[in-house]
Amino acid sequence: MTTLSASPFIVDSIWQRTRTSALVQITSLTALTVLSAQIVIPLPFTPIPLTMQTFAILFGAAVIGPVRSLIAQFAYLLLAAVGLPVLAGNKAGIEAIFGATAGYLFAFLVASYVVGLLAKKITTKRIQGVLVGYLVGSLIIYAMGATWLAFYTGKGFYYALLNGVVPFLIGDAIKAALAVSLLPVSWRLINK
């Protein structure tokens, strides 16, 4: 049996890389994204709900890497496109995908890939590496999400910042703290 301890991804340190393991990892992250989308705190002043998706997506990307996490997010959007109620608030379909949250949804693809790449370059065994990945991923999601929200609502970028970024900063800081604490702890448990 080959050990892959040189890999920057947690799953590769505990599980031999095979097509089956990759499929299980992709399916697991897709399922985690679906479940995290159902943890919804509606905010009455914005069409964008507060969910646990950003945590699941960014944490998952650091755990399984860029390609597998990108495929998982593509699968998530595909499930929604074919009508399964996997989006926040049990929404589904093309109309829901291209609604007010479209920029965030498509940003999940980009952010998962970029965070996975960063996990290869910057070790996720240390707090700084996890924090850099989470911040970059969050910035991608905010930028794409707010840009689309401004376009979709026609209310401009200031509206999009006030309703699509600012309300989520505290929640995302808490999610970042969770990721920063979980990844290094996971590495320590694996390396025992």
Residue type, 2: T
**Alpha-carbon dihedral sign for residues 168, 174, 175, 179:** positive
Cα(50)–Cα(168) distance, rounded to whole angstroms? 7
The proportion of the chain whose per-residue pLDDT surpasses 90, expressed as a percent, equals: 66
Contacts of 86 (CB under 8 A, 6+ apart): 33, 34, 37, 76, 79, 80, 92
pLDDT digits (tens, 9 = 90+) for 74-94: 999 999 999 999 999 999 999
pLDDT tops 60 at residue 156: yes
Query: Pick the residue with more confidence: 5 or 74?
Result: 74
Instruction: Please tell me which residue, 120 or 134, carries the higher pLDDT value.
Output: 134
Whether CATH 1.10.1760.20 fits 10-190: yes
pLDDT for 30-78, tens place per residue? 999 999 999 999 899 999 999 999 999 998 998 888 999 999 999 999 9
Each residue's pLDDT tens digit, 15-29: 566 778 889 889 999
CA-only gyration radius of the chain, Å: 17
- Of 192 and 88, the one with more pLDDT: 88
Q: Is the pLDDT of residue 5 over 90?
A: no
What residue ranges do the domains of the chain occupy?
Answer: 10-190
Q: In the prediction, which pLDDT does 10 show?
A: 55
Residue 130 or 9, more confident: 130
CA distance 168 to 94: 25
The b-or-e profile of 146-183 (16+ CB within 10 A means b, else e) is: bebbbebeeeeeeebeebbbeebeebbeebbeebbebb
Asked if pLDDT for residue 124 goes beyond 60, the answer is no
